[in-house]
Amino acid sequence: MSALVGRPFLKMNGLGNEIVVLDLRGTAIRVRPEEARAIARAPGSRFDQLMALHDPRTPGTDAFMRIYNTDGSESGACGNGTRCVAWALTQEPGLDAPNGRTDLLLETKAGLLACRRQAGADVAVDMGAPRLRWDEIPLAEEFRDTTGIELQVGPIDAPVLHTPSVVNMGNPHAIFWVRDVEAHDLARVGPLLENHPIFPERANISLAHVTARDAIVLKVWERGVGLTRACGSAACAATVAAVRKDLTGRTVRVTLPGGVLTIEWRESDGHVLMTGATELESRGTFTPDVFAGAA
């Protein structure tokens, strides 16, 4: 029987990005890939990302987070999931009872994330500095200019999509600049681009339309997940890429199918700050049938 049976969880969302928060602090339990896939399939716990909280690794942090995609793979970053975790740890009795704290420091394998709960259900996360070199993203071959690499979809003389910007925000992102994010079948080309040989660790694929110096419309195919209503790290990556191409200023409202995130790429320290809403949908407990036949 799975060690997760009987464990409570929170079902949340960040702008429609479906998140499950699972507190495993004080235990040695680790979520296995097949367990993550089973949780994602169960009607009451479907998720885009599963945020598993473990005991802190670094002094001064509140928790170490492992982040699972629906296919059971792990991710280094999930901005919307991190915002949900920050809300839960400052608001939800049984995790950390409300104690007036509004600031937290969380850790993932990609680094430390400072969080601040704001008015209502809004949470801001410092996503850290983007990584911009080709070998940091990573790419399979060298491109000195990562604001636009040689990659296209369609005929060589009339490509449908081409010259994406690439950024690592704890995970790899490729951003294609388009005039209309709905004019392309991202569900069809997303999995092909995610698994393109140029991305040895696969990549999140975004279509971005800059509508003003402070506004981007974004649609995302998320690595290991598929089409998603919101992706915080993709919104951060698109903003960084837009600033580097001088398409926008350093503070941008990014509109995704699930809602709006405010992204600021600070000039002072190079960090990317993401602010947006969270929502608690339900509380649950894992039952044996969730993991029956898990594979």
Q: Is the CB of residue 43 less than 8 Å from the CB of residue 97?
A: no
Q: What is the pLDDT of residue 295?
A: 67
Least confident of 7-21, 66-80, 93-107, 122-136: 93-107
Retrieve residue 80's tokens: 């919307």
Cα–Cα dist 77/1, whole Å: 30
Residue 195 marked in a binding site: no
Return all residues near 51 (Cβ < 8 A) that are at least 6 apart.
Answer: 19, 20, 21, 22, 65, 66, 67, 78, 81, 82, 84, 85
Q: Is 279 annotated as a binding residue?
A: no
Does 80 count as an annotated binding residue?
A: yes
Name the pLDDT band for 56 (thresholds 50, 70, 90). very high
Q: Cα torsion at 246, 250, 256, 260 (round to 10°)?
A: -150
User: What does the pLDDT look like over 88-115, one tens digit per residue?
Assistant: 998 877 675 556 678 999 999 989 999 9
- Domain architecture of the chain: domains with CATH: 8-128+279-291 (3.10.310.10), 152-269 (3.10.310.10)
In the structure, what pLDDT confidence band is assigned to residue 76 with cuts at 50, 70 and 90? confident
Q: Is 168 annotated as a binding residue?
A: no
What is the tens place of the pLDDT at every residue in 209-260?
999 999 999 999 999 999 999 999 999 999 999 999 999 999 999 999 999 9
C-alpha distances (whole Å) from 11 to each of 21, 85, 285 are 7, 11, 10
Residue identified by tokens 């200019």 is 145
d(CA 33, CA 28): 16
pTM confidence score = 0.88
Q: How far, CA to CA in Å, does 102 sit from each of 97, 107, 158?
A: 12, 17, 51
For 49-76, what is the mean pLDDT?
96
Q: What is the mean pLDDT of residues 190-210?
A: 97
| Average pLDDT of the residues in 152-181 | 95
* Whole-number pLDDT of residue 99: 61
Task: pLDDT band for 77, please (50, 70, 90 cuts).
Answer: confident
Residue 104 CA to residue 224 CA, distance in Å, equals 28
State the pLDDT at residue 47. 96
Q: Return the pLDDT at 118.
A: 86
Name the residue type at position 201.
E
Q: How confident is the model over 127-149, as a mean pLDDT?
A: 97
Give the Cα separation of 87 and 117 in Å (integer): 6
Give catalytic residue positions. Answer: 78, 231
Calculate the average pLDDT of the chain: 94
